[in-house]
Amino acid sequence: MLFEIVSTTVFGAIAIKAYTSKKGLSNDSGKIQRIMSLSGLNVKDGEDTHTTQLIKKKQYYWGWEYRYRIPLGRSFDDYASKLRVLEDGLNNRRKRITFADLKSLQLDANIIDNLRTLWKTKLTERKEIELAYDGLLIVRVYDKALPTQINWNDALLKSNTWSVPIGFTRNGETIRHDFDKDKHLIIAGATGFGKSAILKLITTMLIEQQPENVELSLIDLKGGSAFHRFRNCKQVKYYSRDPKSAMDVLTKVQNDMQKSFEHVVDSGFEDVKEAKIKKRHFIIIDEAADLSDDKDVMEIITDIARRGRSAGYYLIFCTQYPTAQVIPSQTKRNIIARLCYVVDTDTASRVVLDECGADKLPDIPGRGIYKNNVKRYTVQSPFISNQTIQQIIEPHIVKEESSHEKEDSDEARRTDSITFETL
Ligand SMILES: Nc1ncnc2c1ncn2[C@@H]1O[C@H](COP(=O)(O)OP(=O)(O)OP(=O)(O)O)[C@@H](O)[C@H]1O
């Protein structure tokens, strides 16, 4: 009897709370506005104070979206710089139990224990916020945080395409970068946040999806730690792990690219896709900052970024130090797609993405912002283990030869690669 009274009362209270929440009577809109005011986003104009005005709110299965008109004198960046303040404010221990939570509860004699577990889970749950701007400030509050690790699985492979997964959004959408559409890619992020991991994933997927058509130039200026295992894959045409040989590699790539460029353009086509050429060459540079002092090298990189799109020479340019010197504006202009993991300053975020935001990402490896010319997504990149990489690339590895023989076979492959296979 006592159990029934207690459980009915507790359950009833929670149900009322959950009902008001569902009806939008108890959402975060007021709190967000208060945090905005208290964190200095109001604008004083003589006697008047202009605040951020809520225009619309809508509930989705993942949480809430709020749209605000921002006062004159404020920019989107002012709000983006307060992202952490907003997030911490919303997470300051006020936890909400929803209908979905209640539905998942077992209504048996363990109801009190079940409620306790639910409450404990709620205490450790963290809401995440995303900001965007389309004339109105958009604040998306997600009930559940993105997972901190999402493992790669072979369902992500798309055979015979140049499309690779970059990450998963909170809505469960898989964001892919299609090199035949967006061509080159800049990847940046502070040390230890997943640049090499995504480079290895992209390289593995390109080899597996297009084993006969992909050609790789791997420039690994971190001493070879990222790309060494791919070195003897038959798809690897050039490999370098020091700035001096990187110059040689890039010069050869530029010469090859020139031939492809002339072949495509002289045949009256816009690019390799239109010319129905199957081969694509990827120049993947891990730690481009180590090349930035060499003017000649940087000129070649800029040339690849500019003309490679037609010639089928795609650049993946990765750096831990995103400054204007490391990513020159001409290179940037030709590389629309960017993937930025956590960086330490808003200046670094702006260099990569042309806006702040990557400096406000949580300190989670693989958490990044991917931007192409259409959209911007916050994603968690898939993670592939070295063991899985090894299994996938094993059939593509050619037997290690003596270095002299390797040079010869590299030369042979070089000659082969000039011939383009057409449909
Ligand atoms: N997508 C991911 N999901 C989960 N964990 C990841 C992910 N990417 C990387 N990590 C973890 O972070 C570690 C560091 O990643 P990685 O070596 O790619 O960083 P990095 O940015 O290349 O750093 P550095 O510039 O210092 O080489 C990995 O060993 C792995 O444990």
Domains of the chain by residue range = 2-142, 150-416
Binding site members: 189-196
Please classify residue 25 by burial: count the beta carbons closer than 10 Å to its beta carbon, then call 0-12 exposed, 13-18 middle and 19+ buried. exposed
Tokens representing residue 107 in the block: 């209504």
Q: Which amino acid is it at 397? A: I
pLDDT in the model for residue 126 = 77
Ligand 1 pocket test target in 168, 195, 318 with most atoms within 8 Å of CB: 195
In the reported structure, the alpha carbon of residue 225 is separated from the centroid of ligand 1 by a whole-number distance in angstroms of 12
The CA distance from 28 to 33, in Å, is 9
pLDDT score, position 8: 54
Which atom of ligand 1 lies at the shortest distance from residue 286's CA? Answer: 22
pLDDT in tens, 120-166: 666 666 788 888 888 999 999 988 888 899 999 999 999 999 999 99
> Ligand 1 within 6 A of 357 CB?
no
What is the Cα–Cα distance from 141 to 62, expressed in whole angstroms? 8
Superfamily of domain 150-416: P-loop containing nucleotide triphosphate hydrolases (3.40.50.300)
Query: Is the pLDDT assigned to residue 14 strictly greater than 90?
Result: no
Rounded to whole angstroms, how far apart are CA atoms 158 and 62?
A: 28
Q: Is the pLDDT of residue 380 over 90?
A: yes
Confidence (pLDDT) at 205: 97
Is any atom of ligand 1 closer than 6 Å to the C-beta of 366? yes
Tell me, what's the pLDDT at 146? 87
Rg of the Cα atoms in the chain: 26
* Gap between the Cα atoms of 277 and 163, Å rounded: 17
Output the CA 330–ligand 1 centroid distance in Å.
Answer: 29
ipTM of the complex: 0.97
**Least confident range of 79-93, 188-202, 285-299, 344-358:** 79-93
Q: Counting atoms of ligand 1 from 1, which one is nearest the CA of 199?
A: 18
- Sequence-distant contacts of 90-95: CB under 8 A, at least 24 apart: 90/28, 90/31, 90/32, 90/35, 90/127, 90/129, 90/141, 91/126, 91/127, 93/123, 95/119, 95/122, 95/123, 95/125
pLDDT in tens, 349-362: 999 998 888 988 88
- Predicted local confidence at residue 25, as pLDDT: 42
Atom of ligand 1 nearest to the CA of 190: 21
Q: Is 110 helix (H, G, I), strand (E, B) or coil?
A: coil
Nearest CA to ligand 1 atom 11: 365
CB 246 within 8 A of CB 288: no
Q: Average per-residue pLDDT in the chain?
A: 85
What's the pLDDT band for 374 if we cut at 50, 70, 90? confident
Distance, CA of 273 to chain centre = 25
E strands, 126-184, in order: 128-133, 137-142, 150-151, 163-168, 174-178
Under a CB-based contact definition with an 8 Å cutoff, are residues 188 and 179 in contact?
A: no
Q: How far is the CA of 155 from the centre of ligand 1 (A)?
A: 22
Backbone angles phi, psi at 341, to 5 degrees: -85, -175
How much distance in Å is there from the Cα of 151 to the middle of ligand 1?
A: 13
The token duo for 340 is 């930025």
**Burial of residue 96 (number of CB atoms within 10 Å: 0-12, 13-18, 19+):** middle
How far does the centroid of ligand 1 lie from the alpha carbon of residue 409, in Å?
Answer: 33
Mutating to test ligand 1, I would choose from 149, 196, 200, 241 the residue with most ligand atoms within 8 A of its C-beta, which is: 196
First vs last Cα of the chain: how many Å apart?
A: 79
Question: Ligand 1 center to residue 197 CA distance, Å?
Answer: 5
